[in-house]
Amino acid sequence: MENKYCMACGRIFQPRPQTPQQSYCSAPSCQGQRKNRWQRNKLQNDPDYRDNQRSAQQAWLERNPDYWRQYRKSHPTYAERNRSLQRGRNRQATASAIANMDASAQNNSLPPGIYQLSRTTDDPIAKMDVWIVEITVHACVCTNFVNIAKR
């Protein structure tokens, strides 16, 4: 049998006679890469495998509900790095409009009046059932009411 080049490390190896199509050497790191590549392909192309993996992960999480809380507690550098990366993702995401459930601007600069709301594009990120709207004046500016006292 002729020698082949390993697809992971590029070194020359002799395939096993039982597996003539072998394309990875027997080094543990190369076998790990082979397995990862196989699993990635399986997840992309096999819906049953994907569903089984999802349900197995969910079952494990139900059996171990405090795992991630305990992990973050025992690995503070991991937790801080993750928080830092999340803050960066949040800053990047807020460059475009992000709407949360009950979001409203504290400094409302719109004068009192009657407005028409029209839905705009679905392009910006929005959570739940939030609509991104454009506000246009529909009526003239309201005047102050005169208080008239009853006698």
Give tens-digit pLDDT for 41-91: 999 999 999 999 999 999 999 999 999 999 999 999 999 999 999 999 988
Would 74 be classed as within a structural domain?
Answer: no
**What average pLDDT does the structure give for the chain?**
82
Tokens for 103?
């979001």
* Mean pLDDT of the region 25-41: 96
Q: Choose the final residue of a domain: 12, 36, 62.
A: 62
Which residue reads 């009950």 in tokens? Answer: 102
Q: pLDDT at position 143, please?
A: 60
Q: Are 93 and 125 in contact (CB under 8 A)?
A: yes
Would 87 be classed as within a structural domain?
Answer: no
Question: Residue 103: pLDDT above 90?
Answer: no
- Do 53 and 105 have their domain in common? no
The total number of structural domains in the chain stands at: 2
Tell me the whole-structure pTM to 2 decimals: 0.48
Tokens for 4?
């082949």
Tokens for 131?
């609509």
Would 150 be classed as within a structural domain?
Answer: no
Residue 114: domain span: 98-137
